[in-house]
Amino acid sequence: MLKRAMLTLIALVIAIGGGAASVWYALHVQKGAGAIGVGSWTAFPDIGTPQADPYTNARVAREGVLALGRAEGLAFVAEHDSGGRPLTKECTYRLEGHLPIARFWTLYAADRSLDVIKTGKSRPAALQSYQVVREPDNSVRITASRHPAPGNWLLTAGSGAMYFVLTFYDTPIASSTGLSGIELPRIVRSGCDA
């Protein structure tokens, strides 16, 4: 009798504990179903639409996200550089390459919750396309660093893990067919503070 009760208890603990833990795990990993990767960048074109998968729906409900619509824009997040190493605030990165067609885009450095990094200065850790200087072939080269840099400088601050968020507004790539064959900047690590 006691043995049977023990076995039932074990089954229940595994069911409830395992079920709850696996949902928690699935909702806390950065990559989920429906992700589209371009180089180091990841986007979720379906987030916040009725077509989204149940995991994305649950994440939207839990975090109170109001995702950008198709006519608004599409955001890409990078957590690794082009060499596959995680981005950190101690390092200097060069973002270089061509960007897809959009009315304008914004780029900002974010912390784990994808909020913009607080720089403690009047210059935010954000840039937008009207502010950047372009190369002769219309590509852009941006230096993201804690220290001033010539050319396009994205100020970062602090230490620890960092993310880049690149959002294109009023762009044809936000429709799902527009995403094939687009090109996004490479992220090259060019040095770190000791």
Partner 1 sequence: MRNLLYAVLVGLVGAGIIHILVLMLVPELSERDAWSRLAMASDLYRMTPLEAETGGQPVVKSVDPLFLAVACRFDLREGMVQLKAPGKAPFWSVSIYDRNGHNIYSFNDHSATNATLDAVALTPAQMLEVRRQLPDDLDGSIFVETPIGEGVIVLRAFVPDESWRPAVSQFLRQSSCELKEL
The residue ranges that bind partner 1 (CB under 8 A) are 3, 7-8, 10-20, 22-23, 26-27, 48-50, 52, 54-55, 57-58, 60-73, 75, 103-104, 106, 108, 114-116, 122, 124-126, 128, 130-131, 165, 167, 169-170
Contacts of 62 (CB under 8 A, 6+ apart): 27
Taking the least distance from each CB to partner 1, the nearer of 12 and 192 is: 12
The least CB distance from residue 22 to partner 1, in Å, is 5
Distance CA 80, CA 154 (A): 17
The least CB distance from residue 90 to partner 1, in Å, is 21
Helix (H) / strand (E) element for 142: namely strand 140-145
Taking the least distance from each CB to partner 1, the nearer of 87 and 174 is: 174
- The residue among 121, 185, 117, 191 whose CA lies nearest residue 152 is 185
Write out the two tokens for 172. 């044809």
Distance CA 15, CA 18 (A): 5
Taking the least distance from each CB to partner 1, the nearer of 7 and 192 is: 7
The least CB distance from residue 54 to partner 1, in Å, is 5
Taking the least distance from each CB to partner 1, the nearer of 72 and 79 is: 72
Distance CA 174, CA 39 (A): 17
